[in-house]
A and B are shown apart, each in its own frame.
Chain A
Amino acid sequence: MADLHIGPDVATELERCAVDDVISDVGAAVVHHGDRMVRGGTARRNERRHLLLPALHALQHHAGWISPGGLNYLCDQLQIPPAEAYGVATFYELFRVDDPGHTDDVVHVCIDAACQIAGSAETVAELRSAGRRIHESPCLGQCERPTAQFVQGRGRPDRVEADEEPFELPQAGTDGLRLLRRISAGVDPMSLESYVAAGGYAALAKAFVRGAENVVEEVVASGLMGRGGAAFPTGIKWRAVAGETGQKHVVVNADESEPGTFKDRTLMEHDPFAIVEAATIAGFATGATKGWIYIRGEYPLATKRIQNAIDQARGAGFLGQGIARSTIDFDLEVRRGAGAYICGEETALFNSIEGFRGEPRQKPPFPTTNGLFDRPTAINNPETLVNVLDIVTDGGAAFASIGTKGSSGSKLFCLSGRVGTPGLYEADFGVTLGEVLDLAGGVSGTGELQAILLGGAAGSFVGPDSLRMPLTFEAARAAGVSLGSGVIMVFDSSVDQLPILTRLAEFFRNESCGQCVPCRIGTVRQHEVMVRLASGPSTDNRWELDLQLLEEMDTAMKDASICGLGHTAATAIRSAFDLGLVEKPGVTQ
C-alpha cells in the first residue's frame, strides 16, 4: 500500500471526536511515538478497514455530512485512500458529501407502491411546503402504516414517529402462532428476564445437549428453507460451513429493503432476543465464534432493541467467552446499513461490512467457503433463524411435519396496500393466497381485487385467479412466481398500474449498484421505456417496439447480470403486462 495523499482540508473538533469515538477501542492504524511516527503496517490497517462504515455514520450523524476535512481525518486514522473512502461514502443514500448547508433533520418519505397508492406524493408536497427537508426514499419497511417516514437526525438520534404509537399485532391472541407467539404473548422486547420467563434460551441449552453436529442434522432434517428470498436449505448451508476450519462467521442479514417487506423489522423490534439466541445457536452449530447482524440504516428502533438484547445477553453470559457456562465462544456485533437495497444481497453485504462499496461478488465461490473477510460464513435472514429455536427444541422431524412436504414450517406474510388490516401475519405453508388475504380482512378500497404483488419488487404480480394458489415454494415455482420475502401487496380495481410500474422501474434504476453493464444500463433503459409508456398515447408502432424492448432487456438482465437484482429487475413489470394490467392507450388508428 502506498503512502497516502491526504488533502489540505482539516476536520473540526466535532468531526475528530466523532471518528475517535468509533476507533477508540482498537486505536488508529498509525501509531505515533513522540515526534516520530511509526506506521502500523498492512495487517494493522486491514484489521481496521471494517470501521469505515461506522465512522462514516458517525461523521454524517454529528456533522450532518461527510466533509472533505472529516473524510481526511478518517482516512488518516484508518489509513484508507481518500478516493476509496469517498467511493464508499457516495454509495449510500444516507451519506451526503455535497451538502455543507444541511443543518436540519431530513425527513425520508417512502414513495414506493404501498405508500404511493396511499398518497405519498401529497405527503411529500405538504412536508415541503411546511419547510421540511425531504428525501424521497425507496420502501422504508413500514408498508403497513403508509405514508412511511423516517427522520434522519443531525446530532440527535434518528427516529420514526410511528414507532411511538402502541404496537398491535393483528393476530395477537390467535392460537397456533409459532414465530409470532412471543410477540402475541406480549413478552417485553427490552427484557432478557421476560424472554427467559417465556422459555427463552431453553433452545440454546438444548443445542448444547444435542451437540453441534446433531443441531446441523436436525436443521437439515427440518427442511427449513431460507426466508430471505432465495429459499436455500439452511441445513445444507450450515453443514457446509461446519465442515470448514479456521475462523468462521455467522451473519444475520437484517438489511430488509425489499419493497413491501417489514417482517424482520417487526421481529427485531418485538422479539429481538429470539434472533440473538438463534444466531448464537448458528454459531455453535457451525463452529463460528464471530457473529454480525447487519441492520438496515432506516431501522432505529430495531437497532436499539437488538443492541439492547445483545448487551443484556452478554451481561448474563449468553454471549462472549464461554457462553452459558460452556467452553463455546460467540459474540455478536451490530452493523448499520446506510441506505442501499443491494446491501441485502449477501456478498454485497460482506463488502459493505468490510468497508468497501456494496457491490456483489461473482459466485462461485460461495459464502460457505469465501464469505465475510473471505472466511467461511453462514448468512441467514432473521426469520429463518427464529425458526431454528423450535427445530432445536422439538427436533427436525416435528418441524418438517408442519406445512407441506416441500415447504416446512410457517411463514410470515407482509400484507400491505388495499387490504382490510395491513400488517404482519403468520400462517403455515400451504395456506392459500386467498385465505391469507381473508385473514387480513380482504380487499379494501373498491373491494374488487385487481392484482397482488407477490414477493416484492423482485417478485411478480398475480391476478384474482391465483387466490386459490397454495403459498408454498413448490406451488410458486410451478406457477412461475416467487414467494420472495413474503410480500403480499394488494391493489384494488381503482389503482392505475402505469405509475406503479414506472416507479418500480425507477426503484431498480436507483438501486442498481452499477457494477455490471446489463443492470447498470439495462435498468435505466427499462425505466426510460416505462416513462415513455406512461406518458400517454403512443404513435405508430412505438408501443409494440417498447414492449419488445422490455422483453429483450429482461432476457439479457436475467442471463448476463451478476446478481439477483439484475436478474429480477424486469420480472414484476413483465408480469404486469402479461396479466394485462396495463392496456395500450387508444387513439392510434
Chain B
Amino acid sequence: MTSSSERTATSSERTATDTSLETPVRLSIDEVDVEVAAGASVLDACTAAGIDTPTLCFAENLTPVNACRICVVEHEGSRTLIPACSRRAEDGMAIQTDSERVRHSRKMILEFLASGVDLSQADPLASLVSEYGADPARYGDAVATMDEDVRIEDDLYVRDYDKCVLCYKCVEACGDDAQHTFAIAVAGRGFDARISTEFDVELPDSACVYCGNCVAVCPTNALQFTTEFDLRTAGEWRPDEQTTTRTVCSYCGVGCNLDLHVQDETIVKVTSPNDHSVTSGHLCIKGRFGWGYVHGR
C-alpha cells in the first residue's frame, strides 16, 4: 500500500505546505503506538501498524468518497465509528480496528451488500462475507436487489449493474480523478440510485470515449471487458492459468505501462499498474482496447 505521504509527494497538486515536511503524527492503533507522516489517513496508520483494513470504495488513485463504510474503525471519543480511508490521522487518536462494534458494522454492511448485489465476481468481498460471519439469507426472500439486466452496447466492455455496489469509483475515474469525460454519474436517489448516462442513453450515444478507466477501477466486475464476459459466459474464464506481461504501449510517445493479461496465448484484458508514474492505472482507448493487431485482428 502506498502511504498517503507518498501520494502527496507525487501529486500534481503539491503545494508549498508539503505535509510530509511537517512533524509526524502519533496515534495508537489497537493499543500499539504508530507514527505516520502528517496528512496520512487512519487507514495509512492501520497499515503502518500491520493491520489489514478492508476497503471497497477506496483506491489509491482516486479521491476517497467514504461511501461503502466497510473500513470503519472505532475512535475513542467519537459517537460513531469513523471511516479509516478518508479520516486524517490526528495526534493522540486511539483507534480500535477489531472491536465488537467494528466487526458488527462490517458484518452488517457485508450482509446488506450480499443480500442486494451479485457479489459472485467480487472475490475479496466474498471472502470477507465468511470472515465476518455475515449471513445475507436471514433477511428472507422478499428483499429488494439491484435487479438490473446486463448491458451490452458495444464490443469493448459490458455493464452489469446487478453487480454494482455503488462505490462511485467509475464515476470518479470518468470524472475529475482521471478521464475528465463525465460520461457517467449517479442518478436517482436512495436504493434506486444507479450509475447512469444522461437519460440512460446507451454508451455509444453518450460522452464515453472508451478509455476503460471505469472498468479498471470497478471492484466487483460490474464493468468488465467483453473478452472476459464472453469467456465467462462460455465457461472458459480461467484466471489461474492467466499470465501477466508488462510492456509499454506502442501507440504514442507518452509511455504508458501496460499489463497484458493472457490466457491461451490470447490477450484477454489490459490494465496498467496503479503505481506507474505516468498512468496511475489509467489508460486511453488505444492502450486499453487496441490490442487486436497483436493477434492480426
Q: Do A and B bind each other?
A: yes
Query: A-side interface residues toward B, CB under 8 Å?
Result: 1-2, 4-5, 7, 68, 71, 81-87, 90-91, 97, 340, 357, 362, 509-518, 520-525, 528-529, 531-532, 545, 549, 552-553, 555-556, 558-562, 567
Q: Is the CB of A512 within 8 A of B104?
A: no
Most A-side CB within 10 Å, residue of B81, B87, B199:
B199
With beta carbons under 8 angstroms apart, the residue of B72, B179, B183, B188 that contacts A5 is: B183
With beta carbons under 8 angstroms apart, the residue of B69, B116, B180, B193 that contacts A561 is: B69
Complex Cα distance, B83 from A71, in Å, reads: 36
CB distance from B76 to the nearest CB of A (A): 14
The digit string for B66-104, where 1 denotes a CB below 8 A from any CB of A, is 111110100000001101001100000000000001001
Q: Is the CB of B191 within 8 A of A83?
A: no
Can you list 11 A-B contacts (CB < 8 A)?
A5-B206, A82-B197, A83-B187, A91-B188, A512-B190, A517-B112, A520-B193, A523-B191, A524-B143, A555-B108, A559-B104
Q: Which residues of B contact A516 (CB under 8 A)?
A: 66-69
Query: B-side interface residues toward A, CB under 8 Å?
Result: 66-70, 72, 80-81, 83, 86-87, 101, 104-105, 108-109, 112-113, 115-116, 138-140, 142-144, 165-166, 176, 179-193, 196-199, 201, 205-207
CB distance from B38 to the nearest CB of A (A): 16
Q: Is the CB of B115 within 8 A of A518?
A: no
Complex Cα distance, B68 from A560, in Å, reads: 9
Most A-side CB within 10 Å, residue of B70, B108, B189:
B189
Q: Which residues of A contact B165 (CB under 8 A)?
A: 517
Q: Is the CB of B190 within 8 A of A520?
A: yes
CB distance from A537 to the nearest CB of B (A): 16
Q: Which residues of B contact A82 (CB under 8 A)?
A: 197-198, 207
A545 closest partner in B (C-beta): B138
| A5-B207, A87-B186, A520-B191 known; A560-B72 Cβ under 8 A | yes
| A83-B183, A514-B191, A532-B142 known; A556-B196 Cβ under 8 A | no
Q: Is the CB of A514 within 8 A of B192?
A: yes
Q: Is the CB of A552 within 8 A of B104?
A: yes
Complex Cα distance, B179 from A1, in Å, reads: 9
Closest 5 CB pairs of A and B: A81-B182, A5-B207, A556-B108, A87-B185, A521-B112
CB distance from B90 to the nearest CB of A (A): 10
Q: Which residues of A contact B206 (CB under 8 A)?
A: 5, 83
CB distance from B124 to the nearest CB of A (A): 16
| A7-B205, A520-B166 known; A560-B67 Cβ under 8 A | no
Q: Which residues of B contact A91 (CB under 8 A)?
A: 188-189
CB distance from B94 to the nearest CB of A (A): 17
Q: Is the CB of A86 within 8 A of B198?
A: yes
Q: Is the CB of B198 within 8 A of A71?
A: yes
Q: Which residues of A contact B108 (CB under 8 A)?
A: 518, 522, 552-553, 555-556, 560
Known: A510-B190, A560-B72. 7 other contacts (CB 8 A): A81-B207, A357-B186, A512-B189, A517-B67, A553-B108, A560-B80, A560-B108
| A517-B68, A528-B144 known; A509-B189 Cβ under 8 A | no
Q: Which residues of B contact A5 (CB under 8 A)?
A: 183, 206-207
Q: Is the CB of B81 within 8 A of A524?
A: no
Q: Is the CB of A7 within 8 A of B191?
A: no
With beta carbons under 8 angstroms apart, the residue of A528, A552, A558, A559 that contacts B140 is: A528
Complex Cα distance, B198 from A183, in Å, reads: 47
Q: Is the CB of B83 within 8 A of A362?
A: yes
With beta carbons under 8 angstroms apart, the residue of B83, B142, B176, B192 that contacts A528 is: B142
A8 closest partner in B (C-beta): B205
A513 closest partner in B (C-beta): B189
Complex Cα distance, B143 from A528, in Å, reads: 7
| A1-B180, A4-B207, A556-B105 known; A517-B198 Cβ under 8 A | no
Q: Which residues of A contact B83 (CB under 8 A)?
A: 362
CB distance from B207 to the nearest CB of A (A): 3
Q: Is the CB of A558 within 8 A of B191?
A: no
Complex Cα distance, B87 from A522, in Å, reads: 23
Q: Which residues of B contact A87 (CB under 8 A)?
A: 185-187, 196
